[in-house]
Amino acid sequence: MSDPLFEFLCRMGDNTLVLGHRVSEWCGVAPVLEEDIALANTALDLIGQTTLWLNLAGEVEGKGRDADALAFRRDVWDFHNVLLVEQPNGDFGQTIMRQFLFDAWHRGYLTALTGSSHTQVAAIAEKSLKEVTYHLERTTDTVIGLGDGTEESHKRMQSALDRLYPYIGEMFFKDAVDEAMISEGIAPDPTSLRAAFDSLLDEVLAKATLTRPDGTFAHKGGKSGQRHSEHLGHILAQMQWLQRAYPDATW
């Protein structure tokens, strides 16, 4: 295993990088102007958070890589984002449902990280938490609005939930990297955050008149980097093309 702190920081930064990329794909084509603004704002926050997490990862690694080197010069197997964030945008409902599920986990996790024994981790978490609290408010309202909207919007939100539900579990798995972070007081036990997530999910789904799918199956392999979906390679092909085509250039 590589340095667990480095890997933990990559997990945080890769989640925000990949999700920020996905959200930015909406640029200019959202259903309504206010959503164009909100989605660009969310992507902007996530890219800002990425810079903080990956710069710290580079510092911890000590091999002279900065956030850009980590974002643009690693291949799929070195990425440690959860599978949820690399799922395609689908329709607006799927994008918002994915964002809501991620925001709900993210807020809980960042809240715990503000008490980290690692001062830089705690500082990044505190800054990010302000932004993510707002993201969650917005996605909560939108999930409720669209779930409890028209028959069509309800149907679309339910199918988005069904489609993404098996990707929730990975955010709460605990592995050796988590164990190392827990033992140093750097990061919380992800399993300890599940109950609060579940009760928020139930509350929001009830207001949205959506039905929580049965089953406990969870896809995994993103966080560990062992087996991403096919989608990540295409994201990187686009995101990293310029840096790889012109490796000597500075921009």
* Binding-site ranges for other proteins (CB under 8 A): 21, 24-25, 27-37, 40-41, 43-44, 47-48, 50-51, 54, 67-68, 71-72, 91-93, 142, 144-146, 148-150, 152-154, 156, 238-239, 241-243, 246, 248-251
CA–CA gap between residue 166 and residue 161 (Å, rounded): 9
State which residue, 117 or 209, has the beta carbon closest to other proteins.
209
Report the alpha-carbon distance of residue 194 to residue 102 in Å, rounded: 13
Nearer to other proteins, 207 or 219 (CB): 207
* Nearest distance, CB of residue 34 and other proteins, angstroms: 7
- For 209, which DSSP code? T
Q: Tell me how far, at minimum, the Cβ of 135 lies from other proteins, in Å.
A: 15
Q: Which of 46/83 has CB closer to other proteins?
A: 46
Q: How far is CA 1 from CA 4, 46, 48, 180, 211, in A?
A: 7, 27, 28, 11, 40
Least distance (Å) between residue 236 CB and other proteins: 11
- Give the C-alpha separation, 197 to 165, whole Å: 13
Closest distance of CB 137 from other proteins, Å? 15
Minimum Å distance from CB 145 to other proteins?
4
Contact 61, 8 (CB under 8 A): no
How distant is the alpha carbon of residue 85 from its chain centre? 5
Cα 211 from chain centre: 23
Instruction: Kindly give, in sequence order, each residue whose CB lies less than 8 Å from that of residue 63, ignoring residues fewer than 6 positions away.
Output: none
If the CB atoms of residues 100 and 197 are measured against other proteins, the closer one turns out to be 100
Mutual angle of helices 119-147 and 92-113, in 10-degree steps: 150
Closer of 21 and 194 to other proteins (Cβ): 21
- Residue at 165: amino acid letter: Y
Nearer to other proteins, 17 or 171 (CB): 17
For residue 135, which of 107, 162, 168, 116 has the smallest C-alpha distance? 107
Which is closer to other proteins, CB of 155 or CB of 174? Answer: 155
Rounded (to 5) percent helix, strand, coil in the chain:
70, 0, 30
End-to-end CA distance of the chain: 33
Give min distance, CB of 133 to other proteins, in A. 19
